[in-house]
Amino acid sequence: MKSLSIPEADSLAAKFRSELGMGLAEPVNAKTMIRKLSVTLVYRPLSENSFGISCKSGEKRFMLVNSNSTRGRQHFTIAHELYHLYYDENPTPHICDSVVSTEEKNANRFAASLLMPREGVLSMVSKEEIAGHAVTLATVLRMEHMFGVSRMTLLIRLKDIGLISQPCLDKLKAVPVKESAQEYGYDLSLYEPGNAGLVIGDFGEKARLLFEQGKISEGHYMELLNMIQDGRGEES
């Protein structure tokens, strides 16, 4: 399997955006994107080192995301799993964890390019910051909330595309995340878990069809329906 370079990941993500009718710089709403793609997405608590699971059968695609992860991490996991569902050379049922293989690195680079497009990032950085290979904390906070990603994910992306130096990354990495966001007046939900029990996709429609075809009992159908309804209140 071939390792994706950062320019190749940028190009692949731009192609993916184009096919979905998205601009090259606009932020991604992962849940809206999932609906456009007709992927079934379920948020459930998983173990600490498991971020998400994905698999596909024919044209049907399924994704499970760890609701114990922060919302920023969940956003990145969705983009990461989309790489496995659409571009992985060996599309076997996949669990996203802390193990780093070539395809995991490819998925991470694709996710970073998809969520933080080069054009969008550059539009938020001043000429002085670009020239100095350093960005301010205020700029970092604006970008992580604009693109809905974690602090570390954003800093790695900025370093990869040459906007910040390693010393700048290290300096910003040392700044407490929640405390700094609070000091600047930002909502803290990005840095917290959420969406437990939420189901996105035609899960309910499929359950109804199975019930009408007599393939599941009324009790099983109601159980599936209740599972969906229990999670609807947390979407954000």
pLDDT digits (tens, 9 = 90+) for 35-87: 999 898 889 888 888 898 888 877 778 888 999 999 999 999 999 999 999 99
- Asked whether residue 185 falls in the same domain as residue 155, the answer is yes
- Asked whether residue 189 falls in the same domain as residue 221, the answer is no
CA distances from 234 to 70, 209, 224 (A): 14, 26, 17
- Asked whether residue 196 falls in the same domain as residue 206, the answer is no
Q: For residue 95, what pLDDT is reported?
A: 59
- Asked whether residue 173 falls in the same domain as residue 220, the answer is no
Range of the domain at 92: 6-201
Q: For residue 169, what pLDDT is reported?
A: 97
- Asked whether residue 124 falls in the same domain as residue 182, the answer is yes
Q: For residue 201, what pLDDT is reported?
A: 75
Q: For residue 99, what pLDDT is reported?
A: 57
Stated as kind and residue range, the H or E segment containing 40 is strand 40-44
- Asked whether residue 113 falls in the same domain as residue 22, the answer is yes
Q: For residue 53, what pLDDT is reported?
A: 87
Residue 1 domain-assigned (yes or no)? no
The residue written with tokens 């290979």 in the block is: 133
Domains of the chain: total: 2
- Asked whether residue 152 falls in the same domain as residue 182, the answer is yes
- Asked whether residue 135 falls in the same domain as residue 233, the answer is no
- Asked whether residue 136 falls in the same domain as residue 217, the answer is no
Residue ranges in the chain whose pLDDT is less than 70: 1, 91-99, 202-211, 215-216, 220-236
Query: Where do the H-state alpha helices sit in 116-186?
Result: 118-122, 127-132, 137-147, 151-160, 166-173, 177-183
Q: For residue 94, what pLDDT is reported?
A: 56
- Asked whether residue 88 falls in the same domain as residue 74, the answer is yes
